[in-house]
Homo-oligomer: A and B are copies of this chain.
Amino acid sequence: MDQLDRKIIAELRNNGRATYAELGRTVGLSASSVHERVGKLEAAGVITGYHAVVDPRRVGLGVTALVGIQPTDTASDDEVAVALGELPEVESCYAVAGDEAFVVKVRVETVDELEHTLGRLRRIDGVARTRTTVVLSTRFEGRPNNTGLDQG
């Protein structure tokens, strides 16, 4: 991965639909070269995908919460993580240091649904307790941090 790759990645993080021709113009390569480089970055697992970002409220997911998952003494973290992944309302799942095994981000339509989801989380085998932090507003989210990409 050289400087040009980093530049291409930074561009694609800002605009995931940039054309290879556009990228070529910004980094000073032919579209073919960019195309090949991007293919290699994808194959190498550096670029893992492309997603449209949607305003959650506009698609009926107005309630967000961060939930700490405290495990039982006998819990298998991997099994708990798999179970967490089976709930579609769990958008992200981090294994963390501390007395909680995981912190997950949950997105649902209503607080009623949140209550419902928390119940399901608690019923997962290996989950002892949950600790819920309700998100009041999302100031910003998933901002591309191109430290070391833009110029490194």
Contacts and interface: CB of A to CB of B under 8 A. Distances in A.
B91 A145 contact: yes
Interface residues of A, number: 64
Interface in A116-152: 133-149, 152
A58 to B, nearest CB: 4
A138 B46 CA distance: 15
Given A48-B55, A52-B12, A66 B17 contact: no
B13 A96 contact: no
B50 A51 contact: yes
Contact of A98 (B102, B133, B137, B140): B133
A97 B133 contact: yes
Copies of this chain, whole number: 2
30 contacts: A1-B58, A6-B59, A12-B52, A15-B50, A16-B17, A17-B50, A46-B55, A46-B59, A47-B52, A47-B53, A48-B53, A48-B55, A50-B51, A50-B52, A51-B144, A60-B147, A66-B94, A66-B103, A84-B139, A88-B145, A88-B146, A89-B145, A92-B143, A94-B137, A94-B141, A95-B137, A97-B133, A98-B134, A100-B133, A102-B139
Sorted nearest first, the 7 A-B pairs with minimum C-beta distance are A16-B50, A12-B52, A93-B139, A92-B141, A97-B134, A81-B139, A46-B58
